[in-house]
Structure 1
């Protein structure tokens, strides 16, 4: 448990996991927004670039056609480029004339509207362009990058080109604008999720703090109770953090109940060992005393009496040890013998035995068997021990003359044994623990002086054997009316495989 809580928060830096999760979430959102913004910007630039270049190509083609049309109205030789002076020719326009697919004249329009001849190096950049109407991108030294086309057809072959610098400036400004917008958007996208995530993860931080506080509790010793729980406000099942809080509270409840049960078991074990030691110490001391007297040859106590007392105390100690072994085997779940047992016969025999041992009591037997059968599947000797213990308990803890009624009843599915006496009853404070081991009511339930003394294991054995047979035992008591009830499943109503045969205890 401690290692689990330490992994969920623990002692060392309980907020580390929360901050890491917050950082990862913000990083994820930021990266996602960056990818989205980048993709949108690239798409916008690409689409705009295609559109601008298509428009430029159309203008280049129009310029070439216009130039070719202008040549039809101008006399002159093959080097005449006077059509560049006509209206509508933009600044930077390049024009050239061909003779036998070779450029013989090339000029460009300057910023002041005049024409200027291209140098040999500049003309060399236009080599290889044929008057077939295809578009080309060429870099002309000193002028920049151009989109160029040459057309021929039925007219004079002519070349025309326009600079791409304007398009590049538009695209550069578009990239700058997109970058600024994306940066602002990313900043807002990072700030907003950070605030939202921090607010949403606060309950998770409180859950981690609770886990860390529980981890600091020394669970390996002392009484464990009142462990800190996650506040109700942080256990909303509609949220992820609330679900973690609910699960952690369930885990803490389970740990607390398990530790409490372990402590109760350890307390019962310590009490059992103390009671067993006390019960065994008395006969052992008696045996040791008589043995010492016989060893010294004390004539005040006849040897026959000494041996009689040693034998009696040995039998008492042997019975106590056997009862403890029986309870231990029942706790281990060892199988019982499985045979069909007639409860009516078994109870009747036990009542006759009890009447012989306690003739000063008024014993009654009642059989209420509508179908005449009261059979169960189980260990006959152990079931007889259950009834004998209940009858001995009634005999030992009630005064002479008490009426003790033993009845056997049946229903469609169960057989019920009832042992009812009219004695003084069981004190209310003892009633909840009457089936505990070494539980006694001698102080409150009168006995005749010199009567037998039980070990306090009889009712515990009756309860354990009943449960081992799939049944249950119950007691109700008030002054003048105490009733023990043993309920067992009937043999003809027991499920198949409900009891397994074994070698017995």
Structure 2
């Protein structure tokens, strides 16, 4: 039992190729052994049947010769008369089955009588015609039978040496052929198995290489794949290779997705920290001003006029209120809270926003351009859309010098899109600032001149415009070079009734 357990443990420790070779070798040995044994037994049965037939014929001839001399129980003269083959054994038996006389036919010599020991080997054979095998000392193994006819009993037998020699030779030949066949088959199987398992070895090597990759951390790199030649679906090894490639694809995509998520989370955390820092700074400035003026008013000093201090406190308070309201608006838009929904005429809304901008920035030249092949109607929140347009116009007013021309246009075409453009011929946005111009608290104080030396905004105007536009299913974009900066807003148009007359292109200076 322990030996069997040890052998099983050894088999488990061996490679698949070795186990396959052992299994195939054992199978071939079993098949060859079965075929050899079947052949030997079949040939032996055939030879014994042939010998038994000849033994029966010899017994019949001997019985016929003995019946010619019924009164001579010990007479074996028929052995010389009937032409028996050399080695034929014959005997006369009495009624009790005892051997009276026995002799064997010799080559070119008269029959030789058997000795007492040889006759003793013939005892106990009944006269039933069955064939028996006996070993006669000095003569070898014989196939013997006894016949009885009217009281005449004759024993006859033939040697089995030829049959045994033939069977032994057959066994030797079968063993030699089986050994040669096993050797050739084993070599062929080893070559075939080695070739067939070579792709599986390459698949295993690929799996080992992938397992050594640092998948838990670091950037995702291209993982090793199983070569295409080892992914043939027509073979088991190819199916394993193809399955491994698919698994590696899934692993790689999962790692890439995880890395993207981690990068987005990192950027989100950075934006959040920057947002909190900027918000804190923006709120701290008006709070510090309010606290300072309040302290001066509380002391009752004559260094500042109380009315002026009060106006400054009110202005800083309004500034802080506006900043908080902007932050709340961005928070609501980030949460995806629904806006009011109604049909809004962007042409009228833009004209109103341009008039308001003109009143705030008298040093600029303001133009309104309408290019309407259809009504500029959208579905959305009118107040928020007005805020978008006002922010874009305020951005152009605050970041361009006096005398700059600002052109606001709206286009409505048959492609179910309403486009609003705000263009100025100011100095432009610095290229380094352009990718982040729509991010929160982005300011270009050092690059763009503000009209009249007035204080700028908090850097939330364009971020609010982007969020509101996105909430309406639209998009906002900007292009800028020195002498031309253009913001573009695209919004989906409202469903229109049957065609209305086109309004054409109109430009107005306001």
Residue equivalent to 1:181? 180
Q: Is the CA contact 1:426–1:444 (under 8 Å) kept in the aligned structure 2?
A: yes
Residue equivalent to 1:27? 19
What do you get for the CA RMSD once the two structures are aligned?
4.7
Deviations 1:219-246 (A, max 9, x none): 1xxxx34736438x95656464864468
Q: CA deviation at 1:432?
A: 3.0
Distance 2:439 2:47 in 1: 100
Residue equivalent to 1:6? none
Identify if the C-alpha distance between structure 1 residues 430 and 145 changes in structure 2 by more than 3 Å, giving closer, same or farther.
farther
Matched, 1:328 2:334: yes
Matched, 1:394 2:396: yes
**Higher mean displacement: 429-438 or 171-180:** 171-180
Residue equivalent to 2:284? 284
Q: CA deviation at 1:84?
A: 6.4
**Equivalent residue of 2:479, what SS?**
strand
Q: CA deviation at 1:31?
A: 0.8
Matched, 1:440 2:440: no
Greater length-normalized contact order (CA 8 Å, ≥ 6 residues apart) = 1
Residue equivalent to 1:500? none
Q: Is the CA contact 2:286–2:317 (under 8 Å) kept in the aligned structure 1?
A: no
Residue equivalent to 1:304? 310
Aligned counterparts, 1:148-297, within 5 A? 163=160, 165-166=164-165, 168-170=167-169, 172-174=171-173, 176-177=175-176, 180-181=179-180, 184-185=183-184, 188=187, 191-192=190-191, 195-196=194-195, 199-200=198-199, 203-204=202-203, 206-208=205-207, 210-215=209-214, 219=217, 224-225=218-219, 227=221, 229-230=223-224, 234=227, 238=231, 240=238, 243=242, 244=244, 248=248, 251-252=251-252, 255-256=255-256, 258-259=258-259, 262-263=262-263, 265-288=265-288, 290-291=290-291, 294-295=294-295, 297=298
- Show structure 2 runs of 5+ residues with no match: 1-11, 233-237, 497-510
Identify if the C-alpha distance between structure 1 residues 435 and 317 changes in structure 2 by more than 3 Å, giving closer, same or farther.
closer
Q: Is the CA contact 2:396–2:406 (under 8 Å) kept in the aligned structure 1?
A: no
Q: CA deviation at 1:121?
A: 6.3
Aligned counterparts, 1:457-496, within 5 A? 457-492=460-495
Identify if the C-alpha distance between structure 1 residues 388 and 313 changes in structure 2 by more than 3 Å, giving closer, same or farther.
closer
Deviations 1:123-177 (A, max 9, x none): 43x55x733xx7x676769799877777899999876566463465245425642
Q: CA deviation at 1:46?
A: 0.9
Distance 1:369 1:150 in 2: 131
Distance 2:20 2:386 in 1: 74
Deviations 1:424-448 (A, max 9, x none): 2233333333333333333333321
Q: Is the CA contact 2:206–2:224 (under 8 Å) kept in the aligned structure 1?
A: yes
Distance 2:358 2:334 in 1: 31
Identify if the C-alpha distance between structure 1 residues 397 and 295 changes in structure 2 by more than 3 Å, giving closer, same or farther.
closer
Q: CA deviation at 1:259?
A: 1.8
Q: CA deviation at 1:307?
A: 3.2
Q: Is the CA contact 1:64–1:150 (under 8 Å) kept in the aligned structure 2?
A: no
Identify if the C-alpha distance between structure 1 residues 76 and 172 changes in structure 2 by more than 3 Å, giving closer, same or farther.
same
Residue equivalent to 1:16? none
Q: How many residues align?
A: 459
Residue equivalent to 2:31? 39
Residue equivalent to 1:319? 325
**Equivalent residue of 2:213, what SS?**
helix
**Equivalent residue of 1:439, what SS?**
coil
Deviations 1:187-215 (A, max 9, x none): 52575367546754564455345424422
Distance 1:115 1:489 in 2: 130
Distance 1:434 1:21 in 2: 66
**Higher mean displacement: 96-105 or 43-52:** 96-105
**Equivalent residue of 1:72, what SS?**
helix
Residue equivalent to 2:431? 428
**Equivalent residue of 2:439, what SS?**
coil
Q: Is the CA contact 1:60–1:160 (under 8 Å) kept in the aligned structure 2?
A: no
- Show structure 1 runs of 5+ residues with no match: 1-19, 494-505
- Which structure has the larger Rg? 2
**Higher mean displacement: 30-39 or 110-119:** 110-119
